[in-house]
């Protein structure tokens, strides 16, 4: 008797969302299969995407290996963003570190003007991450949303402490929200429910927090996997959003990644590959060579469809 491998089919679909504008706008999500389950019935209409991260100030504690590809532009965020585009990134992610009260406490107007200048200088989408200080981000991120009205940026982190003020600015000015919660599925869903009271779920991307290989990685993986399963298998509407894995920052602050270039690239690529397998739709890395390693590991075919 001929053997036929069992095939699964799911009725849940991850919402397809677009960031950016124009010909190089980026589509996220849209799948109705689990990550890389091409043997099941369903499809992955949009392959996972990769963003390279830049800072709004010159880094002071980065590994020397991260400086190498950007050493002549790293003091200029606009030129730095353009270099990321030249390296083939699908998007650029700017981290507004200087706005952190513990850093330079840069004013919101200055940060917003810089973000607009960066967004206008590249043809690929821009992701914007505040410093993570909930009070300062509640001032900075609405200013960014206003200054970049209609550019369809992905803006975050939107937290439970500031989701109303940041989320409403994102809604008013035509952007997408990056909803970030601690590593807990219930807190994740609770934030999404609150946010979706006024913001359409089609404009929310989930950031469940990412950790580096060897530093609680299994928690990140398990949570992302659970989010994807709930959305695709169970059809839980509050988990049917695309997932972002902002992992570069976490990887390159580890002792292991700083010991050698090869080890750092492997740490970033293996972490990214694992989170891609867990269900990430867009991954934020810091070294362009890591993206190449991930694609070689997973197989270039899915990015060529």
CATH number of 226's domain: 3.20.20.20
The pLDDT value given to residue 41: 85
In a domain, 149, yes or no: yes
In a domain, 3, yes or no: no
Task: Assess contact for 234 and 195: CB atoms under 8 A.
Answer: no
Task: Assess contact for 256 and 263: CB atoms under 8 A.
Answer: yes
Residue ranges making up the domain that contains 59: 18-291
The pLDDT value given to residue 36: 87
In a domain, 251, yes or no: yes
In a domain, 301, yes or no: no
In a domain, 305, yes or no: no
Q: Rounded CA gap, 103 and 106, in Å? A: 8
In a domain, 298, yes or no: no
In a domain, 302, yes or no: no
The pLDDT value given to residue 8: 86
Per the structure, how many domains does the chain have?
A: 1
Q: Is 23 exposed, middle or buried (0-12, 13-18, 19+ CB in 10 A)?
A: exposed
In a domain, 300, yes or no: no
Measured on CA atoms in the order 262, 304, 247, 95, is the torsion positive or negative?
positive
Task: Assess contact for 65 and 79: CB atoms under 8 A.
Answer: no
Q: Rounded CA gap, 203 and 111, in Å? A: 23
Count other C-beta atoms under 10 Å from residue 297's C-beta.
12
Q: What are phi and psi of 127, to 5 degrees?
A: -105, 140
The helix (run of H) or strand (run of E) holding residue 196 is: none
Task: Assess contact for 47 and 26: CB atoms under 8 A.
Answer: no
Q: Across the strands, what pairs with 128?
A: 94, 155
The pLDDT value given to residue 300: 72
- How does pLDDT run along the chain (305 residues), one tens digit per residue? 788 878 888 999 999 999 999 999 999 999 999 998 888 888 899 999 999 999 999 998 899 999 999 999 999 999 999 999 999 999 999 999 999 999 999 999 999 999 999 999 999 999 999 999 999 999 999 999 999 999 999 999 999 999 999 999 999 999 999 999 999 999 999 999 999 999 999 999 999 999 999 999 999 999 999 999 999 999 999 999 999 999 999 999 999 999 999 999 999 999 999 999 999 999 999 999 999 999 998 887 676 65
The pLDDT value given to residue 305: 54
pTM of the model: 0.96
The pLDDT value given to residue 4: 80
The pLDDT value given to residue 7: 84
């Amino acid at each position: 008797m001929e053997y036929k491998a069992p095939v699964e089919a799911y009725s849940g679909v991850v919402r397809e969302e677009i960031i950016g504008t124009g010909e190089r706008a980026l589509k996220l999500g849209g799948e109705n299969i689990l990550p890389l389950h091409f043997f099941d019935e369903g499809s992955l209409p949009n392959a996972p995407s990769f963003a390279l991260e830049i800072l709004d100030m010159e880094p002071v504690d980065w590994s020397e290996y991260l400086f190498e590809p950007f050493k002549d532009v790293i003091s200029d965020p606009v030129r730095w963003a353009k270099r990321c585009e030249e390296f083939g990134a699908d998007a650029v992610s700017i981290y507004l570190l200087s706005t952190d009260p513990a850093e330079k406490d840069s004013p919101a107007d200055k940060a917003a003007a810089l973000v607009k200048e960066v967004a206008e200088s590249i043809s690929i989408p821009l992701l914007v991450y505040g410093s993570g200080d909930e009070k300062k981000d509640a001032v900075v991120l609405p200013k960014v949303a206003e200054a970049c009205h209609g550019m369809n940026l992905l803006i975050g982190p939107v937290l439970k402490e500031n989701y109303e003020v940041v989320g409403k600015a994102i809604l008013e000015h035509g952007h997408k929200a990056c909803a970030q919660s601690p590593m807990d599925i219930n807190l994740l869903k609770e934030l999404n429910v609150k946010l979706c009271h006024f913001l359409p779920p089609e404009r929310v991307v989930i950031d469940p927090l990412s950790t580096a290989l060897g530093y609680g990685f299994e928690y990140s993986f398990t949570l992302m996997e659970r989010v994807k399963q709930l959305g695709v298998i169970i059809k839980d509407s509050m988990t049917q959003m695309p997932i972002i894995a902002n992992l570069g920052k976490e990887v390159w602050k580890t002792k292991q990644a700083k010991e050698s270039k090869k080890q750092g690239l492997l740490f970033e690529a293996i972490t990214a590959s694992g989170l891609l397998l867990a269900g990430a739709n867009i991954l934020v890395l810091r070294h362009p060579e890591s993206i190449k390693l991930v694609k070689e590991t997973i197989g270039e075919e899915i990015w060529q469809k």
